[in-house]
Structure 1
Amino acid sequence: MYFIILNFLLFTLLLVTPSQSLAQTMNQVDHDFLFCESWRLSVETNNAGNWSNIPDHCLEYVKEYMTSNRFVSDSKIVAANSLKFARSVNISGDGKDAWVFDIAETLVTFLPYYITHGFGSSKDFREWTRRNKAPALQASLSLYKELQQLGFSIVLLTGASEPDRKQTIEFLQYAGYSNWERLILRGASDEGKSALDFKSGKRKELEDEGYRIHGNSGDQWSDLLGHYSIATRSFKLPNPMFYTA
């Protein structure tokens, strides 16, 4: 927290006019930091609803958060809570005890792209993914492997389209993921659906096939909620970078 405040302070000091006092500047730094903290809380608790952009004066805050040990720690806590619940599940052994994962910013992270192009940016994103691989979110990779050892069938459910299957598999394998039960992408009939409708609909199809969806992990509320099917427990990873409805 202190290094974030310090960065805000150093930046705003450069903007101080002769009419501004150091006390006024410090007050503004405190106000901006607290606002951005509260804004991020509203995002993670879904109180912000359908938001589109990071507030301009929170771009640096989001960068500091996402590249800090704080984000790593928050992700580890989510994984630890997930694993605690998973260990309480009675695995039947019939292969139908499932855990569903989103992929982008849940299993793999595109943080290197945002560090290069700026937080809040989407410029040349698809071109970047064609030339680069995304690393694993380490807390999720550890959880993924633990769940497999416990006997869960892993289902990967992503908003990427079917033509991206080969690239998606390459991303997953590069990041260290393997042996999933199923990888579900958008087909032609799914185009135009919101993420919430698409993903909850696919979960309903899994349940109709006899799967019991005990856990669901994602970085967006649209990964977890829905009109059709919600897991026994859902776990949201932190993501103040963008929102998907």
Structure 2
Amino acid sequence: MARKSYFLLAVLSILIGSGVSDWNILNHRKKNNVVSGSGLKTYCESWRINVEVNNIREFEFVPQECIGYIGKYMSSSQYKEDCERAIEECQVYLSSCCNSLKCADGKEAWIFDVDDTLLSTLPYFKTRGFGGKKLNITSLEGWMEKCKAPALDPTLRLFNEIKGRGYKIFLISTRRESLRDATVDNLIKVGYHGWSGLILRDLNDENKRVKHYKAEARKKLVDEGYNIWGIIGDQWSSFDGNPTAKRTFKLPNSLYYVS
């Protein structure tokens, strides 16, 4: 019981944070009556962009003043277009790797994240204040067990294109091993079929930082003789460390930071 409680606390601190946002990122500006109206919108857009380019790191929650803005962005056509554009760049790179329909030799691999890359957790976070409320890991895992996460359509198309070219696809997720059946069921339900491996966190991975856990998972693949051509994910921790891929592609996600 003590080990489980420790794990829940560790995941909670890694994924989003330990509480509702009571830290006001704009306090110093408010004191000078600088931020209001369009100024706040501009600042929140700047905050979002700096999250995406990894200038703002280790944030524990979406700033209280920006929750509404981030919620609107993640629910908007702009978010969908940003995902589409990222996937288009993956497809351009994929076409440059080989020109034939099937060109991989059996040891050429691509890696995908699961949450907010293949499957969207946005329906869950809509009910949780778009990252501004305390994350209840039991609640999140309970939602995952219901297998209701929708596919990200651009990623589904890319997944099928990569598979059609003969590459091996590996899914590396921060989900726990206890969620394997639910994860597989959800993936199949929304149209993902034919991956070569689904790697989830087991007991030995519980206390590792995500970037270390994922780097170790990639090393095992390389040690097995795989060449990693690409990684697609929504978190910078999916790309950190060695070995890495020839190219990495990040999908937007301003709801939480996983390190």
TM-score, normalising length: structure 1: 0.85
- Among 182, 185, 189, which residue is 2:197 paired with? 182
Q: Contact 1:203/1:229 (CA < 8 Å) preserved in 2?
A: yes
Listed as ranges, the gaps of 5+ residues in structure 2 are 1-32
Residue matched to 1:100? 111
Q: Contact 2:215/2:243 (CA < 8 Å) preserved in 1?
A: yes
Any idea what the Cα deviations from partners look like across 1:95-152, whole Å, max 9, x if unmatched? 1110000100110001111222321132422222233510001111111111111221
Q: Contact 1:87/1:150 (CA < 8 Å) preserved in 2?
A: no
Deviates more, 1:122-131 or 1:217-226: 122-131
Aligned residue for 2:173, secondary structure, equals strand
RMSD: 1.6
How far the C-alpha of 1:36 sits from its partner, in A, is 0.5
- Among 54, 75, 81, which residue is 1:73 paired with? 81
Any idea what the Cα deviations from partners look like across 1:212-245, whole Å, max 9, x if unmatched? 000000000001111x211100000000000001
Task: Give the whole-Å Cα distance in 1 for the aligned partners of 2:258 and 2:72.
Answer: 22
Alignment of 1:135-154 (within 5 A): 135-154=150-169
Query: Which structure: larger Rg?
Result: 1
- Among 224, 231, 245, which residue is 2:239 paired with? 224
Residue matched to 1:163? 178
Any idea what the Cα deviations from partners look like across 1:134-182, whole Å, max 9, x if unmatched? 0001111111111111221111011112221111101111221010011
Aligned residue for 1:88, secondary structure, equals helix
Amino acid at match of 2:111: V
Task: Give the whole-Å Cα distance in 1 for the aligned partners of 2:240 and 2:151.
Answer: 24
TM-score, normalising length: structure 2: 0.81
Residue matched to 1:62? 70
Amino acid at match of 1:223: S
Task: Give the whole-Å Cα distance in 2 for the aligned partners of 1:132 and 1:190.
Answer: 24
Aligned residue for 1:99, secondary structure, equals strand
- Among 207, 211, 221, which residue is 1:196 paired with? 211
Higher relative contact order (CA 8 A, sep 6+): 2
Stretches of 4+ aligned residues off by more than 6 angstroms: none
Amino acid at match of 1:142: R
Residue matched to 2:128? 117
Q: Contact 1:133/1:174 (CA < 8 Å) preserved in 2?
A: no
Any idea what the Cα deviations from partners look like across 1:168-207, whole Å, max 9, x if unmatched? 1011112210100111111222221111000011101101
Task: Give the whole-Å Cα distance in 1 for the aligned partners of 2:168 and 2:87.
Answer: 17
Q: Contact 2:233/2:250 (CA < 8 Å) preserved in 1?
A: yes
Task: Give the whole-Å Cα distance in 2 for the aligned partners of 1:67 and 1:149.
Answer: 31
Alignment of 1:202-213 (within 5 A): 202-213=217-228
Residue matched to 1:10? none
Listed as ranges, the gaps of 5+ residues in structure 1 are 1-23
